[in-house]
Structure formats: structure tokens, C-alpha cells
Copies of this chain bind each other. A is one copy, B any other.
Amino acid sequence: MSETLSSLIRERFGESVDVPGRLEHNSELTGLAAHRSHRAFTGEPVAPALLRTLLACAFSAPAKSDLQQSCVVHVEDRAVREQIAALIPSMPWIADAPVLLVFCGDHRRLRRICELRSAPFANDHLDSFFNAAVDAGLVMAGFIRAAQAAGLGCCPLSAVRNHAAEVAGLLRLPEHVFPVAGMVAGYPATERRITPRLPLDAFVHTDRYDDGDVEPWITSYDARRHAVLPLRPERQRDPGRFGCADFYGWSEDKARQVAVSEREDFGAFIRSQGFRLD
């Protein structure tokens, strides 16, 4: 990685941060700052020992109260993989990537431990579900970092939740286990640009949340982003409903994206897996 941390942060957030000199070439920090998703991979397989090493690094992530409420299913069986891929035809990388994983929240183990130790599980409410979901996210973030550090690329797939019940059925997820996101991984076939983000002040508040007047940030971010990652005119979502925008930036694209309901059955699925969300 020859890029400095300062230059990566400037590329991401469009602003300068006064990076301490000793950290400019710290590989962990530049690795985080240089994050890119990859969906196109060479044919080179990922060795089983390498994958196991990366998963060991990922599952070393902090776990809420040390309750260890996450797991992953590595989809090796070609038939299972193809059935998952067939559910999401817009993402051909699901079928083609060298590795397909599905990270899950796992509340089953804890409930089995309660039975084993004859203590009643007294936390059947939203917070328990939430903890398992966030813990799976921490593990997933660790996997992404580990994979990139080993020269792989990867991409999370929240689309597996568009078909949560079917995916859970294929992977035989029992009660109290639920998919958080899939992940494809392999050796990247292409270079990818850094995706610019909103300015840091959009994310970082001091003492009190204050997002002020969002319009100037959003407009300036749309323009900054468009300069490096323009959305092609033919990618405008739903022009029949929203018309064809002269300038089609991130905010217009995201507003149109969330104007269409997705995964509205996820709550029903989670309840059918035995969770109460009160």
C-alpha cells in the first residue's frame, strides 16, 4: 500500500485530517481507510487453511458480554450455492465467487446453555436479538479486514435477507439463528476506486447530535462523488415514476432506492425463528 493515510482520508471524505506522522504508513489504518468492496474475482481458489485462518481472526472480535452469539455458514455444496444464487439473479457473483459465506446471529447456543445449566432465559425481547445482530456485524467487519489483509477482496450481501426464510431453509438454520448478511470473497480481478463518503462532520458529533442543515452537505457530496463515480444515465431508478433527472447523484439515487419497499417480511421471518421483538 503506497498511499498515505492522509491521502486515503482525503479521497474518502473530501477533506484533510491532520494525521499523526507516525501513522501515515500504518498498514492497519491504511487498510481500513482503503476499504473497497470486490465482486469480480480471478479463478484462483481460496485455500481451506487460509479461509479457516481468516475466520479465526474474524471470530476473535469482541462479543457483547462475551456471550458469543454469532456464527457463519460456509456454503461449499454447489447445489446449495446455486439455489441461493437463483434467488438473487441480479447478483451473479453469488454463484461465481470462490467463497460464499453467510454470517448469522446465533441465539440458539445461549438458550441451550440455559437449559444445560437449568437457568431460565429471561431476555426474550428486542435487545437480545439486537445484540446477536450487532455481534455478527463485528465478526463480519473482522472478516472483511482479515480478507483484505491477506490479499483477498470481498463484498457483503444483505440481499440474502430478501429471501431470509428460503436461505434459512437451505442452510438448515434452526430456531433463534438468522442470517445477517452473506459475503463473497476471492482474489480481486479488478482494481476498484474508493467510494467517497459524506464529510466527517456528517458522522461525528460532539456532545450533542447536530446535523444542521443537511442540504448543503448533500449537494456538495453529490457533486464530489459524481466527479469520481458518476451514475450512468441509464442507471436512473424508476424513471416512469420519478422522471429523468438532469443531474442524478447519490441522494437522488438513494431516495429512489428506499422509495421501494424491500425485505418487509424480515420481521415476520425473525418472529417465526422464535424471537420476540417487544
Instruction: Tell me the A residues contacting B by CB distance below 8 Å.
Output: 5, 8-9, 12-13, 17-20, 23, 26-29, 31-35, 37, 47, 49-50, 52-68, 70-77, 80, 104, 108-110, 112-114, 116-123, 125-128, 130-131, 133-138, 140-142, 144-146, 148-150, 155-156, 158, 161, 171-174, 177, 180-181, 195, 197-198, 200, 202-211, 214-215, 218, 242, 250-252, 254-264, 266-268, 270, 277-278
A62-B35, A116-B255 known; A123+B264 contact, CB < 8 A: yes
Copies held by the complex: 2
Point out the residues of chain B lying under 8 angstroms from A118, CB to CB: 255
Point out the residues of chain B lying under 8 angstroms from A76, CB to CB: 206-207
* CB <8 Å contact, A146 and B29: yes
- Of all chain B residues, the one with the shortest Cβ separation from A158 is B64
- Smallest beta-carbon distance A153→chain B, Å: 12
A55 to B207, CA, bound (A): 15
- Smallest beta-carbon distance A160→chain B, Å: 12
Point out the residues of chain B lying under 8 angstroms from A257, CB to CB: 65, 67
Point out the residues of chain B lying under 8 angstroms from A49, CB to CB: 17-20
* CB <8 Å contact, B210 and A172: yes
* CB <8 Å contact, A57 and B70: no
- Smallest beta-carbon distance A254→chain B, Å: 6
Other A-B contacts than A29-B150, A127-B161, 10 sampled, CB-CB below 8 A, are A17-B53, A29-B57, A32-B60, A32-B142, A113-B251, A119-B242, A134-B134, A141-B145, A171-B209, A174-B209
Point out the residues of chain B lying under 8 angstroms from A148, CB to CB: 28
* CB <8 Å contact, A125 and B267: yes
Point out the residues of chain B lying under 8 angstroms from A150, CB to CB: 20, 23, 26, 29
A142 to B256, CA, bound (A): 29
Indicate which residue in B9, B58, B254 contacts A56 across the interface (CB closer than 8 Å): B9
- Of all chain B residues, the one with the shortest Cβ separation from A210 is B172
* CB <8 Å contact, A71 and B149: no
* CB <8 Å contact, B114 and A258: yes
Indicate which residue in B140, B207, B211, B256 contacts A171 across the interface (CB closer than 8 Å): B207
Point out the residues of chain B lying under 8 angstroms from A155, CB to CB: 62
A72 to B206, CA, bound (A): 8
A160 to B73, CA, bound (A): 31
* CB <8 Å contact, B113 and A255: yes
Q: Which of A117, A126, A134, A156 has the most CB of B within 10 A?
A: A134
Indicate which residue in B54, B56, B119, B256 contacts A256 across the interface (CB closer than 8 Å): B119
